[in-house]
Structure 1
């Protein structure tokens, strides 16, 4: 049996709504110019680490597809110019319900820090559902065409994201890693926090405090039984990742 492959988690580059400090959730904005730069820098880090994936998974949202395309262009995979990128709705961002599209600073002022943090960061808390018209528009958008109803919820807790991401881990990622394949997963702040929760067996308190910055590759290597060799993984650029994560935390978290 081959040694397990490596898993790289990468939060997509900054989107135009990230740049405006809005709750993006299931909305489908493109990358900002800064986000495109972050994706290219992530590709350069992966190339320097000689990480050339055998499989790439993204969410169904444009900002992860764009990030994947830029990363793979930078990697210029030898002998494999058409590596398939597999979209998976289980890796989509959390539904932020009625917060979707709204400015974080305005909601913080309106709700107060306690309610704001509970809806945004707690394991079980979920904001009020988004209006039915907004939900219908998202369900009929290109990013969600043909997906099951559970892929587009009116609101969602982090606990709900963990459930779908855990299923994805068991159904797809474990098999590839056991077969010795190196896998790149490009997701979102909350879907990747959920995956870290599963991989590292985090407590609720630990995952509530976890902040994953955009554009910073996080590498997991595994023992034969697929336990992480380093709990929490290792960033390819630790200093830049710590600095960026601190900025995410200062803005109120992922």
Structure 2
């Protein structure tokens, strides 16, 4: 049996401000730091040990992972960062509040962009200051791979590619893996691990800062999965993420 742990980053500054975040590189709030530290404590209490870790290029996920590993005294393990685990790219919605977006486009359209499987938000243009190529992190990235906007469908393609090439072989070799990433990159991973349909994935809400544990067989099919922590706390966090007026992306 193979162990895999997924953790969505703690609350970010733009989560708190209720802004569409996407690839914008915002930091954790104090609450987000506490969520990450609590996750590390839970994993330490349950005597989890990891051999290798993966995260995105975005500091809210990187710092979440660092706080988790610090609580576990595992800061020394190899950590691999990749843009392919970044949050879904919200195009020109990035930086807008839900209220502003609804005023511009209407509530129904906003709901469609947020919760549909394959409807793209409005795209950025390459001269927009938010275009990733203007960011040092993506300076060597093939421009053809840089998104101007993504639905969950596009996010799944890049996450699955990285899983198949990099993460799955490490798990198959016997390594215990932790992945700290984002709501939509982790939903993408869960979609193909659990073989969920586009309709089923729409209703999946992933709480922030709660470790999700997978026990996988030798073909990396899930045997079981469960969240760490008290049931009441987990239910409250899932409801918080599911609130229609609450942007956690």
Q: TM-score range by the shorter chain?
A: over 0.9
| CA separation of 1:252 and 1:31: change in aligned 2, threshold 3 A | closer
| CA separation of 1:60 and 1:242: change in aligned 2, threshold 3 A | same
Of stretches 210-219 and 129-138 in structure 1, the one that deviates more from structure 2 is: 129-138
Question: Using the alignment, how far apart are the partners of 1:150 and 1:50 within structure 2?
Answer: 43
Question: Using the alignment, how far apart are the partners of 1:110 and 1:59 within structure 2?
Answer: 31
Question: Using the alignment, how far apart are the partners of 1:222 and 1:239 within structure 2?
Answer: 26
Of stretches 54-63 and 147-156 in structure 1, the one that deviates more from structure 2 is: 147-156
2:112 maps to which of 118, 123, 129: 118
With normalisation by structure 2, the TM-score equals 0.93
CA RMSD of aligned residues (A): 1.7
2:237 maps to which of 237, 244, 248: 244
The Cα of 1:22 is off from its aligned counterpart by: 0.3
The Cα of 1:175 is off from its aligned counterpart by: 1.1
Q: Which runs of 4+ in 1 moved over 6 A?
A: none
2:25 maps to which of 25, 28, 52: 28
Question: Using the alignment, how far apart are the partners of 2:173 and 2:237 within structure 1?
Answer: 33
Which residue number in structure 2 is paired with residue 14 of structure 1? 11
| CA separation of 1:143 and 1:17: change in aligned 2, threshold 3 A | farther
Question: Using the alignment, how far apart are the partners of 2:136 and 2:12 within structure 1?
Answer: 18
Question: Using the alignment, how far apart are the partners of 2:234 and 2:65 within structure 1?
Answer: 19
Question: Using the alignment, how far apart are the partners of 2:9 and 2:62 within structure 1?
Answer: 9
With normalisation by structure 1, the TM-score equals 0.91
The Cα of 1:136 is off from its aligned counterpart by: 5.8
| CA separation of 1:18 and 1:135: change in aligned 2, threshold 3 A | same
Q: Secondary structure at the match of 1:6?
A: strand
Structure 1 segments unaligned to the other structure (5+ residues): none
